[in-house]
Structure 1
Amino acid sequence: MKRMFLRASTWSLCLLLATACKNAPLNMNGGNYKTMEVSRGSRTLSQSYTAVINGRQSVEIRPQVSGTITQVCIAEGAQVKKGQTLVIIDQVPYKAALETAIANVKSAEASVATARLTADSKEQLFKENVVSAFDLQTARNSLLQAEATLAQAKAEEVNARNDLSYTEVRSPVDGVSGMLPYRVGALVDASITTPLTTVSDDTEMYVYFSMTESQVLSLIRQYKTLDEAMKQMPEVELKLSDGLTYAHKGRIDAISGTIDTSTGAVSLRATFPNPEHILRNGGSGTVVLPYIKENVLIVPQEATYEIQDKIFVYKVVDGKATSSQVSVFPINDGKEYIIESGLEEGETIIAEGAGLVQEGTVVGTPTADNAPAN
């Protein structure tokens, strides 16, 4: 009796399992592996590079004459114009030197006038045979010497005027001044190691960063030449040291023609407008370079696996997983890869857990009889 009850229970269980299998929904992915068809799309990727910010023109201001500072005419960090006086050096000795030079010029002019009168007189007397040719030539030589002395005096006057003008240290460019390490009464000269100040032209800012040699080669392959790369590359963004993105975009307008042998890096320069004067000379930031990729094959990274720095996917071929090596664009967003070779549009691959799949694993697909109606 007990054996008959067990047989009946067994038959009942089998009947229930058969009914459950008949009513179970169709697994479209077969073998519990999610698959996908490789398709094309467009993506904008980005790469960040540490950068240094410099003014378009940064000039160290140094005195051209020696003396004590009598007046500081600007505040530290002030906006200055080209030709604006920044610092005044004691002018008294230079004014005196100029007055002396002017007096020397007048004295030399008088000597020239006297020598010319003498030469003209000797010329007339020579014609009348009153003086010898030697006396005439001596008078002419005296005139030449007086004229040379006058020229020298005039040159010294020019130098004296220049020295006096140099006592007013002026800005050679428009820009923003740096700090002023010297105060009134400080003795300065042309050989000081620390400049009076630095004036940086900040209407536009140069942002310098570096790429590896391989990254530059990638640009060349993409745009054919570096000149074309600079023309066609999209605008770049700048993240400031506080983590915020700068309001204006810039363009890469210079790429070094040489590679730094010590680092293997290539220097690039991006130019950014600076109308609000937010960017400062000597600042730092991060250049964000976008890469616009259109009509490319895209797969999720979870559909790939790596072996010895090589990337593979599993294609579904005749219902089985078949590994295939692919090459990918070197920049990614951490979620997807852009496939450059190894896959074709329309091919089916395992979309998730590729690292857990084995070569030849059966990946079931619905049969024609069981496929759902459209």
Structure 2
Amino acid sequence: MSRFWKIALIVLAVVIVAVVAVRVLHKPAGAGAKGADGKDNAPPVPVTVVPVAKQNVPVYLTALGTVQALNTVTVLPQVSGRLLSIDFTEGQPVTKGQVLARIDPRTFQASYDQAVARRKQDQSLLATARSNYQRTQDPQYSQYVAKIDQVTQKNTVAQYEAAVAADEAAVRDAKVQLDYTEIRSPIDGLAGIRAVDPGNVVTTSSPIVTLTQLHPINVMFTLPEQNLDMVRGAAQGGKPLEVTALDRVDAHPIASGGVLKVIDNQIDTSTGTFRLKSEFGNEHNELWPGQFVNVRLLVNTVDGGLVIPSQGVQRGPDGDYVYLVQGDNTVKMQSIVVAGEVGDSHVMIGSGLKVGDKVVTEGQFRLKPGSKVNPLKPGEVPAAPTAAELQKSKQDNKGGRGRR
């Protein structure tokens, strides 16, 4: 190799070393870049921050419940006969005492008339017997009447008095049977679908319709036996416990203002649960018999509970934690204990935080302990980058491609 090519190779090697040195000494400040002081010089991460709030927190127990009518009555005839008419509209309200159906009354009317006629006959015989007995007691005639005849007359009066009393009972019975030909509603309620059509011969076992009482209405539900002492203790406070019925799809309230009425007197050993009955006014028919609902029972209210949005809570191998924003706008991982849920969007903190602490609720996926953040209030968005920041970003990207 000639001297010229040796010199050329040396010069080329020096140039390559110089270029590499310039690249290293002028490394762009990108993500994870460290300054001379060893601190993270990466741009702040925009995150949503919410302060820990203090408020009164209701404590609920939740369960699956079933709506049950306050009263359910299957209407049956109390006498047999041909059904003449149905006098209610299916699916419509009925009132107590309203005529629901009519049975052919002619046979029962005849029995009633016979009982009335028999009573009149015996009443006439009784009047004659009393008149005869009174004459036997008159001083003008008593001396001419034998004692045995006076006794007979007295007994005849008693006999006809008993007959009239029996006739009175027979008339009342016949009237009751006649009244039963008009089938009346025993409660205020809602009529269901009729079970028989006019023209059929019905008996005392033939259902006519089922009535349900909807105002008020009950919701039955069960809770685990470990909640029994809590519920009993809260119920003994003198004020009825508040119950809310929630929709099973999206859990929004469909009926409020319910109260706990009954705690069952035994625990089901097969399921380890106990039954409870609540009552709702149901003025607008929000609840329907047989409907499944989610039940929320208010058992206590914690005064001054610490509350944060539930999306701020992270799950780790050592338990729950949050990213806590410190005074220098860096974050640290703070272990917490969640005491319970507050509605659908917040949780109550048992320990680990205090009032006013700033917790990251959005943007946690870009964070690590010590990360610099740009705290934003809920609903705020980061400011748009300036032209200089965009140019710097382009240069950083070019530098990154050159290093690959």
Same fold per superposition (TM over 0.5): yes
Summarize the alignment of residues 1-374 of structure 1 with structure 2, pairs less than 5 Å apart: 1=10, 2=12, 4-17=14-27, 26=41, 39-40=52-53, 50-124=64-138, 128-190=142-204, 192=205, 195-202=207-214, 204-213=215-224, 225=236, 227-228=238-239, 230=241, 233=242, 236=244, 239=247, 249-258=255-264, 260-261=267-268, 262-263=270-271, 264-275=273-284, 280=288, 282-287=289-294, 289=296, 296-301=306-311, 303-305=313-315, 311-313=319-321, 324=335, 326-330=337-341, 333=344, 336-346=346-356, 363=370
Assess if the C-alpha contact under 8 Å between 1:41 and 1:296 holds in 2: yes
| Equivalent residues of 2:112, 2:174 under 8 A apart | yes
User: Which residue does the alignment assign to 2:396?
Assistant: none
Contact 1:313 1:324 (8 Å CA) reproduced: yes
Q: Distance in 1 between matches of 2:191 and 2:359?
A: 62
Deviation at 1:362, TM superposition (A): 6.0
Q: Considering only aligned residues, what root-mean-square deviation do their CA atoms show, in Å? A: 4.7
Quickly say closer, same or farther: Cα 1:201–1:129, change in 2 above 3 A. same
Q: Between Structure 1 and Structure 2, whose CA radius of gyration is higher?
A: 2
Separation (CA, whole Å) in 1 of partners of 2:121 and 2:156: 15
Decide whether aligned partners of structure 1 residues 66 and 327 sit closer, same or farther in structure 2, where only a CA change above 3 A counts: same
Deviation at residue 224 of structure 1 after TM alignment: 7.1
Deviation of 1:216 after TM superposition, in Å, equals: 6.7
| Greater alpha carbon shift after TM alignment, 206-215 vs 152-161 | 206-215
Q: What does the per-residue CA deviation read over 1:79-118, in whole Å, with 9 as the maximum and x for residues that have no partner?
A: 4333322111121110111011001111110121122122
Question: Does the 8 Å contact 1:206/1:271 carry over to 2?
Answer: yes
Cα-to-partner distance string for 1:298-327 (whole Å, 9 max, x where unaligned): 2545633266xx943268799996774513
Match of 1:257, SS? strand
Bigger mean CA deviation after superposition, 97-106 or 126-135: 126-135
Question: Can you list the C-alpha shifts for 1:154-191, whole angstroms capped at 9, x where unaligned?
Answer: 1110111111011011123343321221122323233x
Q: In the aligned structure 1, how far is the partner of 2:240 from the partner of 2:116?
A: 61
> Residue 181 of structure 1 contacts residue 196 of structure 1 at CA under 8 Å; is this kept in 2?
yes
In structure 1, stretches of 5+ residues that fail to align are 367-374
Q: Is the 8 A contact 2:305 2:349 kept in 1?
A: no
Task: Report the Cα distance in structure 1 between the residues aligned to 2:27 and 2:67, rounded to whole angstroms.
Answer: 72
Report if aligned partners of 1:51, 1:207 keep a CA contact under 8 Å in 2: no
Gaps of 5+ in 2: 1-9, 374-404
Could you state the TM-score of these two structures normalised by the residue count of structure 1?
0.71
Identity of aligned residues (%): 20
- Compared with structure 1, are the counterparts of its residues 322 and 84 closer, same or farther at alpha carbon in structure 2 (3 Å cutoff)? closer
Given residue 80 of structure 1, which amino acid in structure 2 is its aligned partner?
V
Could you say what secondary structure the match of 2:239 adopts? helix
Work out whether residues 33 and 363 of structure 1, in 8 Å CA contact, stay in contact via their aligned partners in 2.
no
